[in-house]
Amino acid sequence: MSRGSFTSVARAVAWRSIHSFFTNPAIIIPSALFPLFFFTAFAGGLSRVDSVPGFDFDSGYTAFVYGFVLLQASAFGGVFAGFAIARDFESGFSRRLLLAAPRRSGIVTGYWLAALARALFTVGLITVVALVAGMDIAAGGLDLVGLYTLALLVNAATMLFGCGVAMRLRTMQAGPAMQVPVFLLLFLAPVWVPYDLLTGWVKTAATVNPITLVLEADRGFIAGDPVKVLAAFAVAAGLAALMVLWARGGLRSAEQAA
Amino acid sequence: MSGGFAFQVGALARRSVLRTLRQPAMVIPSLFFPLLLLSINAGGLDSATELPGFPTDSYLQFALAIAFVQGALFSANSAGTNVSNDVETGFLNRLALTPLRRLALLMGQLAGIMALGLLQAVTFLVVGLVAGAGIEAGVTGAVVIVVLSLVISLAFGSIGAFVALRTGSGEAVQGIFPLLFAALFLSSMALPRNLIETAWFREVATYNPVSYMLEAIRSLVIFGWDGEALALGFACAGGVALIAILAASSALRTRMVRT
Amino acid sequence: MREAAIEATDLVREFKKGPRAVDGIDLRVDPGEVYGFLGPNGAGKSTTVHMLTTLLPPTSGVARVAGHDVVKEGSEVRAAIGAALQEAALDPFLTGSEHMRLQTAMHGMRGDEGRRRGEELLARVGLTQAADRKIRAYSGGMKRRLDLALALVHDPRILFLDEPTTGLDPQSRSALWDEVQRLATESGVTVFLTTQYLEEADVLADRIGIIDHGKIVAEGTPEALKAEVGRPSVEVIPAEFVDLERARAVLSRFGEQANSSPKGAAVRLSGGEGRLAEVVRALDAENISLQHLQLHAPTLNDVFLEKTGRSLEGAAEEEPDEAEDQPKEAVAA
């Protein structure tokens, strides 16, 4: 009879995912390169945009873009963790996990810990590159804590979302079902310009998009001028909490199928 | 008994067109995503038109060209995937055992891409016009846009085919997709080249053939007839297409080994 | 002596990494013959077929198919042969008819001629009803039948079939065997068939070549090969134990004693399996009732075992699939 505890299960699952990530160039390189690439392309290609009348952000365009790319990397880091779970289901490995682990919630926690480790790696890399590129960051210590905590909450929310999808569909075909909603949430927000400079239906979408609040709080932290902090944390934490329920439902679905 | 070259190309083209258009999972994203991004960018970056020297007051008009090139990137993926499937399933061996000429095979395979490219070009033009982006060069200009778009599809499709034939692997084809996207991003995609502030980025964009492909289409949409822009655009698209077709042909010679 | 349909002399194929896949093969197949090439996975069967069908140049040696050299006269060889290779090699997005249309077009058949030929072949393999369905909807057996039909489009005199029934259910396998036999007997087509199934080689082939580790280890008719390794034996277990000695005495008239179970008696039949009826009549004449009677005939597996020291069925699990090496090698070559 297995004596595995919640912690031991979570640790085992996390270790496997983390090990797989850091030892597999085919996984680690795109995970590192994509966010870096977007950062470079937006910050380099669009920097003149901060000269548009009404562009109100004192820390410069590089820092402005950094705020978005940080969230993008965190969010997609969570989605890629969902891909890994779907892959495990398709290969049959998850079935073994479900049968072997006495505390199955530990499995989800383990995947989440791995997603966290991946996010920390990617975020660290982007931050280093942004600083080397001369990003002007006016954030104080507390601002930085707020900034990265928000990013990690977003990472948790998307990871749990992806987990729920992967556990329900149990196939790599679930990829678009994880990617597209996250993509839309991220891009229907003030990505390249502040909210006030958006026009048309995109502005309307950004108005109702909860990620807009998170992104604006993000940029506020970077500029050392926190804005909408409570609302942003409420949104991020609320999404994460909702996704916990979603992931648990997915786990139940997977258990029934195992 | 063997058919003429044109007859062989026709038969293979027919197959290529059928199998491409029968894959909604390939066709729909290649239409949907460029239009979605165009729509998002038009609203998200419209304020950029207020920059001094911005060539138009409609970012939709400026960004329309991007959709054509993005569509072509999906073509690369589609061509590469279809060709790699032929290698992996052994369908290429089946064809190798017939009196088929290699060049006919390659041209036939690329016909499917051209069909998809045509569908994309017409769709993007129609949607762009409906959304309010006028084509300054008129109906003739629209036709030239479609033609240039087809050459761009051929260029990227041939790159996809080359990778598929060289590696025989669908995964490798998926792997180049990010590189092609990088080529699109590191261009005058989002802003005119003269308004790119970051020196190294402007330099890369200046040497990037994708910039000239975008600028050629853009010139027809915004300015009308700009001979230099068109010449550069066609030269870049045609040049990439020629190199890629030669590379794919060489890879096919190695892949379709027969004595 | 009439010209061989297929002839190979010291045929070798080396790949960059690893041992020789084909290590000096000599073979000759006469026109109209069904030649079975039997061996486990990784033995060199598919590599040999790829060389004979011009898809892979030999490293050394000479092969002639339909009177043409496979290296110097590749296009003439291809005009004379049809091949259904290991993979069914079909496009899942096309229908059976569309495959046929493409194949006939590749062989220069235009318009009505191509259409008629396609319909004829689809009818021949029983796929008329399914002709307008996409390949995705075809069963394994249907795919194989279509594959065979496509190989016959240009009416080849020589047909290469590379493991044509692997993965098929018994019914589909049997249907394909019927078609191959029909081709050979009614149309006089020379068939070069590779297989890892003993029964398939036994049933279909006029002559068999057994290949292992790239070399032909035995060649001949199925009967001759089996006879080489021994004669059939009969084992009987009498209903009454007291009859055992008498049963043994009866059997001794038909050959020398062979090993048997403790309750039975066995004899190695001189004169072959045909003498079984005589054995039964002789036992019956002595009023010996039997609880059990069994004929043990040598199998091709026994032949393989004798020549290689391994059982063919066991060898099937040992070797990697040779076909996996080839796509990479096509780039490396």
Task: Give the pLDDT mean for A28-39.
Answer: 82
Topology at the third CATH level for domain C6-90+138-225: Rossmann fold (3.40.50)
Whether residues B3 and C110 touch (CB distance < 8 A) is answered with yes
Task: Give the pLDDT mean for A17-42.
Answer: 82
Task: Give the pLDDT mean for C262-276.
Answer: 85
A206 closest CA partner among C140, B58, B43, C123: B43
Assess B178–C contact: CB distance below 8 Å, yes or no.
no
Are A19 and A163 spatial neighbours (Cβ–Cβ below 8 Å)? no
| Highest mean pLDDT pick, A27-36, A150-159, B103-112 | A150-159
CA–CA separation, A221 and A237 (whole Å) = 17
Q: How far B128 CA sits from the closest chain A CA (Å)?
A: 15
Half-sphere exposure of B186 (CA within 13 A, CB side): 18
Query: Predicted confidence band at C318 (pLDDT cuts at 50, 70, 90)?
Result: very low
- pLDDT given for residue C332 in this prediction: 31
ipTM attached to this prediction: 0.85
- pLDDT given for residue B218 in this prediction: 97
Whether residues B45 and A193 touch (CB distance < 8 A) is answered with yes
Sorted by where each begins, the domain ranges of chain B are 5-255
Q: What are phi and psi of A33, to 5 degrees?
A: -75, -40
CA–CA separation, C189 and A13 (whole Å) = 60
Query: Predicted confidence band at C325 (pLDDT cuts at 50, 70, 90)?
Result: very low
Residue of B nearest to A191 (CA): B44
- pLDDT given for residue C323 in this prediction: 43
Q: Which residues of A touch B51 (CB under 8 A)?
A: 48-49, 51-52
Q: Domain spanning C231-296 has what CATH number?
A: 3.30.70.980
- pLDDT given for residue C326 in this prediction: 42
Q: C279-310: per-residue pLDDT in tens?
A: 999 999 999 999 999 988 888 888 887 787 77
Assess B250–C contact: CB distance below 8 Å, yes or no.
no
Task: Give the pLDDT mean for C171-179.
Answer: 89
Residue found under tokens 């870096």: A36
Are C58 and C30 spatial neighbours (Cβ–Cβ below 8 Å)? no
Are C9 and C62 spatial neighbours (Cβ–Cβ below 8 Å)? yes
Per the prediction, chain C carries an average pLDDT of 88
Task: Give the pLDDT mean for A160-176.
Answer: 88
Touch of B by A (3+ CB pairs closer than 8 Å): yes
Residue A27 has pLDDT above 80, yes or no: no
Whether residues B7 and C330 touch (CB distance < 8 A) is answered with no
pTM of the predicted model, to two decimals? 0.83
Residue C320 has pLDDT above 70, yes or no: no
Q: Which residues of B touch C328 (CB under 8 A)?
A: 168
C156 closest CA partner among C36, C49, C5, C1: C5
Sorted by where each begins, the domain ranges of chain C are 6-90+138-225, 231-296
Are B259 and C54 spatial neighbours (Cβ–Cβ below 8 Å)? yes
- Residues of chain B above pLDDT 90, percent: 75
Q: C234-261: per-residue pLDDT in tens?
A: 999 999 999 999 999 999 999 888 878 8
DSSP 8-state assignment for residue A186:
H
Label residues A215-233 b or e (16+ Cβ within 10 Å = b).
Answer: bbbbbbbbbeebebbeebb
Kindly list the distances between the CA atom of residue C178 and the CA atoms of A39, C65, C183, C280, in Å, as whole numbers in the listed order: 65, 25, 9, 33
Range 107-166 of B in CB contact (< 8 A) with C: 166
User: Which structure tokens are listed for A109?
Assistant: 């926690």
Sorted by where each begins, the domain ranges of chain A are 6-257
Q: C23-81: per-residue pLDDT in tens?
A: 999 999 999 999 999 988 889 999 999 999 999 999 999 999 999 999 999 999 999 99
Task: Give the pLDDT mean for C190-217.
Answer: 92
Query: Predicted confidence band at B1 (pLDDT cuts at 50, 70, 90)?
Result: very low
CA–CA separation, B141 and B143 (whole Å) = 5
Q: Among C9-18, C100-109, C276-285, which stretch is predicted with the lowest mean pLDDT?
A: C9-18
- Residues of chain C above pLDDT 90, percent: 62
Query: Predicted confidence band at C315 (pLDDT cuts at 50, 70, 90)?
Result: low
Per the prediction, chain A carries an average pLDDT of 88
- pLDDT given for residue B67 in this prediction: 96
- pLDDT given for residue A99 in this prediction: 74
Kindly list the distances between the CA atom of residue A169 and the CA atoms of A113, A173, B44, B69, C152, in Å, as whole numbers in the listed order: 22, 8, 34, 33, 44
What 3-state class would DSSP assign to C268? strand
Assess A200–B contact: CB distance below 8 Å, yes or no.
yes
Residue B2 has pLDDT above 60, yes or no: no
Task: Give the pLDDT mean for A137-158.
Answer: 92
**Residue B218 Cα to chain centre, angstroms:** 15
Whether residues B91 and C102 touch (CB distance < 8 A) is answered with no
**Strand-by-strand arrangement of the C34-38 sheet:** C81-84, C158-162, C190-195, C34-38, C207-212, C215-220
Are B5 and B101 spatial neighbours (Cβ–Cβ below 8 Å)? yes
Are A184 and A206 spatial neighbours (Cβ–Cβ below 8 Å)? no
Q: Which residues of B touch A192 (CB under 8 A)?
A: 44-45, 48, 190
CA–CA separation, C211 and C217 (whole Å) = 6
- Residues of chain B above pLDDT 70, percent: 99
